[in-house]
Amino acid sequence: MMDVGRHPNIKLLAYSEVEEVTGYIGNFHIKVRRKARYVDEEACTACEECVKVCPEIRPDEHQLGFATRKAIYIPFAQAVPAAYLINMEDCLGNNPIACGKCAEVCDPKCINFDQQDEFVEFDVGVAITATGMDVYDPTILDEYHYTKYENVITSWEYEILTGPGYVTKGELLRATDRKLPKSIAFIQCVGSRSEKRGNPYCSNICCMNTIKDTLYLKDHHPEMECVVFYMDIRAFGKGYEDLYKRSKARGVKYIRGIPGDVVEDPKTKNLIVTVENTTTGKIERHEFEMVVLSVGVIPRPETEQIQRALTLSKTPDGFLMESHYQLNPIDAPTGGVFLAGCCESPKDIKSSVIQASGAAGRAETLLSAGKVKVEAITSTIIPDLCKSCGICADACPYGSITVDIKAKTPAIVVDAACKGCGTCGAECRFGAITMKHFTDNQILAMIDAMLEEKPEEKICAFACNWCSYAGADLAGLSRMQYPPNSRLIRTMCSGRVDEKFIWHAFKKGAPVVLVSGCHFVDCHYIDANRWTQKRVEKIWNQMERKGIRPERLQLEWCSAAEAVKWTKVMHAVEEIRKAVTKDEIEETKKILSAE
């Protein structure tokens, strides 16, 4: 970070927040709020005289409350810039000035109680998101009594207690008696791999972090008893298995089983851990002087703000979604935005460095090219048909369409920002938007072709390119059986499925129509499938009013990995098709033809 702060070509905006991002790839406009530090960072020499006279003492957030700080402080050692800031929620010296001692002793006169937040705006070509991660709060897991027993700590607190630059100077001490524990237990997967409480995903780093911690303890305190309670040890990286073996060779005991209860001895303050050893199948009780909860990781709260500003997608676990898990793991779905580190998924330092290097390389490639190649599937406005209603602009998940409703000027599509999802084309009621290579006439022609012969035997299915179509493809590659009478029409997104496509299929005699796409939180086009949901619900209501069974139109969400689900869905749809009689199909055609 110090190298970044000193680099002549890098402008570091510390203690700042991104307020707004507009524009598109190659032409982003960023608005940043620089929070008031109340200290001139250029003039401050970090002499510490202000800290000595400050009367306000508060818990140090960086040291998790194990140490204290003053109202004027440097957030952590080696922070960049090396200048103090004042937390006005703690300070006595603002509006009115009741203290002002720090300003009195400051020789450079760099303290200004009247300083205000300021906004900085600038243009950039690309953006790299690296918001990092946070740790899971185990308070709700009452079986571990984290907030009740002082000798139950988290793995993050363990790092603070064993860090040489922190309050205990690297000595691991019990909170109850300030003594070195003779025995210590590590409980894995706290807040991870749990469907009911916590998060269902693996946090990736916890196993190796615990192995590292046990080796550290054995190096400094060979006589200390260390026991690890685990679900599975996931030592998958280079050299990780060797570290795991070294830990066991040093005497660390590994018990396969997650404790169900931790109880404190009121006299000794020791902790009795009850666990089912799944290797032996027996219930065991162990006594320790300290318990460390190996907590999982979660997305930082700020990630949501960045997601909205850059119109990014999120996965079900709350982390930012990459463009493609295997083929494009660094790019975000929004062009010109790249992901680095744990904002994309939990990962260790090595993986974060690799991804960050890749993001820098992708950004450099894009900036040096000067031009951007876009896929030839973008939307095109037909000005003569456009009514300037603005619905297309509202539907576009990337904000690539602009329209002046008051001036009644036709909508304009920025090709560099358009990703070709087609949602705008499906929402336009005036036929003013054409999707290149996925035009209305092309899709209608496919419907005509599939239902030309024996339509009563066919399943008409619309499948999203990135998820449900890929899931169907995986089912085929995996030799899974599903009805051969299904006919798939590939669209880039389920948001492209226009109402008229569905009605046209029913007019042509389709017994059942399936619209399928990504799961709500997995949409490759951010939130385009929400428009699909609204559209299908509208058609269901219309079908009911017309006397057509709504169940003949099915809506399903299926990911690229859910080949099994795809086969189940298709078998279920086939059962619905079998229940549709020829008379019902003919009646539907009459109802729709009469309109």
Q: What is the pTM of this model?
A: 0.84
pLDDT digits (tens, 9 = 90+) for 252-262: 999 999 999 99
Position 327 scores a pLDDT of 79
* Paired strand residues for 501: none
Provide CB contacts within 8 A for 469, sequence distance 6+.
463, 488, 490
State phi, psi for 557 to the nearest 5 degrees: -110, 130
Quick one: what percent of the chain has pLDDT higher than 90?
Answer: 84
Please count the residues of the chain: 595
Contact criterion met (CB below 8 Å) for 308 and 169:
no
- For residue 372, what are its two tokens? 């951007």
Mean pLDDT of the region 223-230: 97
What number of helices (H) and strands (E) belong to the chain?
A: 16, 27
Contact criterion met (CB below 8 Å) for 155 and 206:
yes
End-to-end CA distance of the chain: 68
Contact criterion met (CB below 8 Å) for 316 and 519:
yes
Position 158 scores a pLDDT of 95
* Paired strand residues for 556: 516
Is residue 542 over pLDDT 90? yes
C-alpha distances (whole Å) from 523 to each of 130, 258, 426, 560 are: 21, 35, 17, 11
Contact criterion met (CB below 8 Å) for 167 and 63:
yes
pLDDT digits (tens, 9 = 90+) for 546-582: 999 999 999 999 999 999 999 999 999 999 999 999 9
Is residue 94 over pLDDT 70? no
Domains of the chain: 2-128 (no CATH), 134-298 (3.50.50.60), 375-437 (3.30.70.20), 446-593 (no CATH)
Position 95 scores a pLDDT of 66
Reported as type and span, the H/E element at residue 227 is: strand 225-230
pLDDT digits (tens, 9 = 90+) for 6-54: 889 999 999 999 999 999 999 999 999 999 999 999 999 999 999 999 9
Which SS3 state, helix, strand or coil, does residue 256 take? strand
Is residue 431 over pLDDT 90? yes
Mean pLDDT of the region 60-64: 91
Q: Which spans in 496-527 are helix H?
A: 499-507
Position 579 scores a pLDDT of 96
Mean pLDDT of the region 306-326: 88
- Look-up of token digits 């040890």: 233
Whole-angstrom Cα distance, residue 487 to residue 451? 9
Q: Which spans in 111-204 are helix H?
A: 155-162
